Amino acid sequence: MLDIFSLRTIDEISASIAETGILTLSDRLALMVAFLNENLEDEDIRTVDRILYRIRRGRIKVAGCISVLQK
């Protein structure tokens, strides 16, 4: 079975969030898969920390939809 969430890197997820300002359900699931695989480099962990910081500060919105194209 193809795991669509593991195909995206932390950098790709971060770039998508930076572009839209929204953390989608798909982004959250991809981040969860990355953590569960336990293959994160220190830089990846720092990137996720920056994402979480921006969420806490209100700079990133957390959406319940899979894609920013959905409403």
- The total number of residues written for the chain in this structure: 71
Per-residue pLDDT of the chain (71 residues; tens, 9 = 90+): 345 555 788 999 999 999 999 999 989 998 888 888 777 899 999 999 999 999 999 999 999 877 666 55
3-class secondary structure, 22: strand
**C-alpha torsion sign, points 34, 8, 47, 54:** negative
13 and 48 Cβ atoms separated by less than 8 Å:
no
The domain locations on the chain are 8-62
The residues near 66 (Cβ < 8 Å, ≥ 6 apart) are: 24, 25, 26
